[in-house]
Amino acid sequence: MLQDKNIIIGVTGGIAAYKTVELVSRLRKSGANVHVIMTQGAQNFVTELTFREISGHPVVTSMWDRVQEFKVEHIALAQLADMVVIAPATANILAKMAIGMADDMLTTTVLATKAPVLVVPAMNSNMYTNPATQQNIGILKDRGMLVLEPASGHLACGTAGIGRMPEAAEIFDYIANYFAEGREQQDREELLAKLKGKKVLVTAAGTREPIDPVRYIGNRSSGKMGYAIAEAAVKCGAKVVLISGPSSLQPPAGAEFIPVESAREMRQHVLEHFPNTDVVIKAAAVADYRVRDVAENKIKKDDEELVLVLDKNPDILKELGQLKKPGQILVGFAAETQNLLQYAKGKLEKKNLDMIVANDVTKPQAGFNTDTNLIKLLGRDGSVEELPLMSKKELAYIIWQRVMKLL
């Protein structure tokens, strides 16, 4: 996420300045271009040389430095920045920024930049809780600056309380998350443009095959993955038909919802909608077999043994694969307990799918009735993409992003 991002680090005159050395190192290792601006106060705590070596760039210590790299422009770094981070931020710089001062390179850069500014205050707790400091922080927040609040604990001044600068790892994570969220937002907007107006059909949850009027053969599918896929498509402006087996979930508002019970019922509705559908994602767990002779009345437990004869259900996915027209996309799911990739690949080919979502339902936090899932996406071109453990809602967007690439 941070590759080639230009991060300007402002270091001010606080004892926690030593932690910023590690922050710069982490940012640089993650691919960011890091430029450091030090206030005069900061130079009493850490040397310019240290930051120069760690960042790999000259350090700006004065507005009047002749920094050739930035053509001596006093706002060059402000323009270059993807983010300005002030860590540690002294009470002094908070006050200066609150009133809009520009008496050194750091305050001038902050005033001139259009990039997001992250402030990491660190100071003695009395200084931090002083109404003047709190008011200044409030002003900066109101102006849209990001503030990473200090932690409580032992302070360098010998007291304990709030004011300690978070560790470098925490600040780094905050910055990385900020850019990750921005990227996600951008991806969603792209997806929105592509899915808008598309007709999609999603099947979800497990079917129920009746044994008698009170009993059925079912499976553990909750419908969470399918409903998340339908919801994501609705949010991206697609026309969504959700055909679902029984589920305790609320269908997403805006989707045409068709509740069904058995595999044959599901087949009938799927085939009805298929001809004018752009994309079908079959996340339902459809029963492979149904009971041949469904009892008219509740079966009594008079016999020691009960034998049910099962007939094979129609293979909806396979039928769709045969009916599929050029331009239609068909995505299946493979929930397996063994030989995941092998079975998923076989299903992809046999059923003429464009993509298959494979999940090993034996893995903790994956598969049935969990809010998270661990999946692999297999493409027709032989590609296999392994995704990390994620919420089903997040995965739904990723699945749609990959599907849209196929259209």
Ligand X SMILES: Cc1cc2nc3c(=O)[nH]c(=O)nc-3n(C[C@H](O)[C@H](O)[C@H](O)COP(=O)(O)O)c2cc1C
Give catalytic residues, as residue numbers.
157
Say if CB 206 and CB 220 are below 8 A apart. yes
Q: How far is CA 212 from CA 245, 294, 308, 364, in A?
A: 18, 5, 11, 34
Q: Shortest Cβ distance from residue 117 to ligand X (Å)? A: 15
Tokens at 108, concatenated = 């001038």
**Interacting span for ligand X (CB under 6 A) from 6-14, 192-200, 300-308, 329-337:** 6-14
Nearest to residue 292, comparing CAs of 305, 307, 309? 309
Site string for ligand X, 125-154 (x = CB under 6 A): --x---------------------------
The contact pattern for ligand X, residues 313-352, with x = CB under 6 A and - = no contact, is ----------------------------------------
**By CB under 6 A, what part of segment 53-92 binds ligand X?**
90-92
Interface segment toward ligand X; rule CB under 6 A; list 13-21, 57-65, 168-176, 251-259? 13-21
Q: Which is nearer to ligand X, 90 or 277 (CB)?
A: 90
The helix (H) or strand (E) run that includes residue 78 is helix 76-80
Which positions ≥6 away from 170 have C-beta within 8 Å? Answer: 148
Quote the least distance from Cβ 148 to ligand X, whole Å: 15
Of positions 7, 9, 14, 242, contacts ligand X by CB under 6 A: 14
- Between 13 and 116, CB nearer to ligand X: 13
Instruction: Give the nearer residue to ligand X in terms of CB position, either 42 or 334.
Output: 42
Q: Please state the closest distance from residue 61 (CB atom) to ligand X, in A.
A: 11
Among 24, 122, 148, 234, binds ligand X (CB under 6 A): 122
What are the two backbone dihedrals, phi and then psi, of residue 390, each rounded to the nearest 5 degrees? -150, 165
Residue 90 or 203: the one with the smaller Cβ distance to ligand X is 90
What would the x/- binding string for ligand X be over residues 17 to 56, using CB under 6 A? ----------------------x-xx--------------
Distant-in-sequence, close-in-space partners of 303: CB < 8 Å, separation ≥ 6: none
**CA R_g for the chain:** 29
State the nearest-atom distance from the C-beta of 109 to ligand X, in Å.
13
**If DSSP states are collapsed to H, E and C, what string results for 261-318?**
CCHHHHHHHHHHHHHHCCEEEECCECCCEEECCCCCCCCCCCCCCCCCCEEECCCHHH
**Local structure of 337: helix, strand or coil:** coil
Q: Looking at 7, 117, 123, 211, which residue binds ligand X (CB under 6 A)?
A: 123
DSSP 77: H
- The answer to whether the Cα torsion of 340, 343, 345, 347 is positive or negative is negative
CB atoms within 10 A of CB 149: 12
Distance CA 347, CA 355 (A): 10
User: 392-406 and 168-195 are packed helices; what angle lies between their axes, rounded to 10 degrees?
Assistant: 50
Smallest distance from ligand X to CB 64, Å? 16
Amino acid, single-letter form, for residue 107 = T
**Of residues 39 and 244, the one with the C-beta less far from ligand X:** 39
H/E stretch holding 136: helix 131-142
Q: How far is the CB of 150 from ligand X (least distance, A)?
A: 10
Q: How far is the CB of 142 from ligand X (least distance, A)?
A: 21
The residue range among 7-15, 26-34, 68-76, 189-197 that interacts with ligand X, by the rule CB under 6 A, is 7-15
B/e letters for 271-308, b = 16+ CB within 10 Å, e = fewer, are eebbeebbbbbbbbbbbeebbeeeeeeeeeeeeeeeee
Q: Decide whether 89 or 280 has the Cβ nearer to ligand X.
A: 89
Phi-psi region at 132: left, alpha or beta (left = phi > 0; alpha = psi -120 to 50): alpha
Q: How many residues of this chain interact with ligand X, rule: CB under 6 A?
A: 15
Between 103 and 304, name the residue whose CB sits nearer to ligand X. Answer: 103
Site string for ligand X, 179-198 (x = CB under 6 A): --------------------
Nearer to ligand X, 103 or 302 (CB): 103
Question: Shortest Cβ distance from residue 92 to ligand X (Å)?
Answer: 4
Measured at CB, which residue is nearest to ligand X? 41
Q: Which of 93, 233, 242, 348 binds ligand X (CB under 6 A)?
A: 93
User: Exactly one of 7, 8, 12, 86 binds ligand X (CB under 6 A); which one?
Assistant: 12
Binding-site ranges for ligand X (CB under 6 A): 12-16, 39, 41-42, 90-93, 122-123, 127
